[in-house]
Amino acid sequence: MNVLVTGAAGFIGSSLCERLLEDPNVKIIGIDAYVGPTAKEYKKDNIQSLISHPRFQLIEQNLLNVEWEELLGNVDVIYHLAGMPGVRASWGADFKQYVSYNILVTQRLLEACKDRPLLKFIYASTSSIYGEKSGKVTEGQIPEPLSPYGITKLTGEYLCKVYLKNYSVPVVILRYFTVYGPRQRSDMAFHRFIQRMLENKPIPIFGDGKQTRDFTYIDDCVTATAAVLHAKNVVGEVMNIGGKERASVIDIISMLECFLEQKATLQFLDQAVGEPRHTWADSSKAEKLLAYKPVNDLKTGLKKEIDYVQKLYEKK
């Protein structure tokens, strides 16, 4: 099976490629433009093991300029993971990058797919499309994004749906809830917390630190995402991909203090604009359709991320 993965050098993309290549029948074309907050050198580290793999081909090209018609010739399945991430950076002048990489790129790729015999087009979305909700969130709840980032990802979902309806592009949408673990982006909370503690610097906390998230370990996220490849009766479906545990920011810092055997210095700032107070995924649909059940608890996942971040900064 020939699979195309956009954002192949990213946090989730690189881990997904490794998992998919465990199947000897899978060949992958990975595309990455190295845009976004993570330094190119770290993304290159992510795909070191992939570069030499005989069934993996990497194309370094801006997705706004790719000639998709030439590239999609023998592709059976597309995982569209590429995009511009981050809630806080999506305000102001930088919004144009979110429009380009989350909306225009997605539309160009869907347009190139509309007359092709694809098996699946898997679009990576986000819990940010929901906005502020109480309790467990199901896929049927009305989206009310709080940030420009969330709006661009939701727009990508709507594009997927209209290409499904009008051109039968076999779309599957996955909404990820706060993915963490080794290779996590340097702008994401856990990575920043660990880095600041290693450097004995204060950790900036937006708000009171009591906000909670449904944290999804990278291996669980990849398990669910890879399962879509062979899953039946999933075209047209939207699925939440949540984790095994929820916790507050203060809870996470307490765990880090135990692991690193040091006290963190906290710098409390105003509540960030555009971020919900709580997130909580109802992943029962993914459990039903993908047999998905997260197995990695926060302590195990955090320890692995600590090990990753320590090694990463030892190289500097």
Q: What is the DSSP string of 70-85?
A: HHTTT--EEEE-----
Nearest C-alpha neighbor of 174 from the set 1, 12, 2: 12
Tell me what the mean pLDDT of segment 9-31 comes to: 98
Give CA separation, 198 vs 239, 281, 312, in Å.
36, 31, 12
Q: What is the pLDDT of residues 145-183, one digit of tens each?
A: 999 999 999 999 999 999 999 999 999 999 999 999 999
Residue 316 pLDDT level (bands cut at 50, 70, 90): low
Task: Mark whether 34 is an active-site residue.
Answer: no
Q: Does domain 2-179+217-243+278-295 have CATH number 3.30.450.20?
A: no
Percent of the chain with pLDDT over 70: 100
Tell me what the mean pLDDT of segment 76-83 comes to: 98
Tokens of 214: 């449904």
- 10-21 burial code (b ≥16 CB/10 A, e <16): bbbbbbbbbbbb
Tell me what the mean pLDDT of segment 69-84 comes to: 95
- 36-75 burial code (b ≥16 CB/10 A, e <16): bebeeebbebbbeebeeeebbebeeeebeebebeebbeeb
Residue 123: phi and psi, rounded to 5, are -105, 125
> What residue segments make up the domains of the chain, in order of their start?
2-179+217-243+278-295
Between CA 92 and CA 105 the distance in angstroms is 20
Which of the residues 149, 163, 217, 292 is marked catalytic? 149
Residue 55: phi and psi, rounded to 5, are -110, 20
pLDDT of residue 14: 98
How are beta strands 171-176 and 238-241 bridged, if at all? Answer: parallel
pLDDT of residue 36: 86
Cα angle: 265, vertex 270, 273; to 5 degrees:
125
- Mean of the per-residue pLDDT values of the chain: 96
As a residue count, the chain comes to 316
- Contact (Cβ atoms closer than 8 angstroms) between residue 63 and residue 72: no
Residue 70 pLDDT level (bands cut at 50, 70, 90): confident
Q: What is the pLDDT of residues 215-246, one digit of tens each?
A: 999 999 999 999 999 999 999 999 999 999 99
Residue 90 pLDDT level (bands cut at 50, 70, 90): very high
Between CA 80 and CA 87 the distance in angstroms is 19
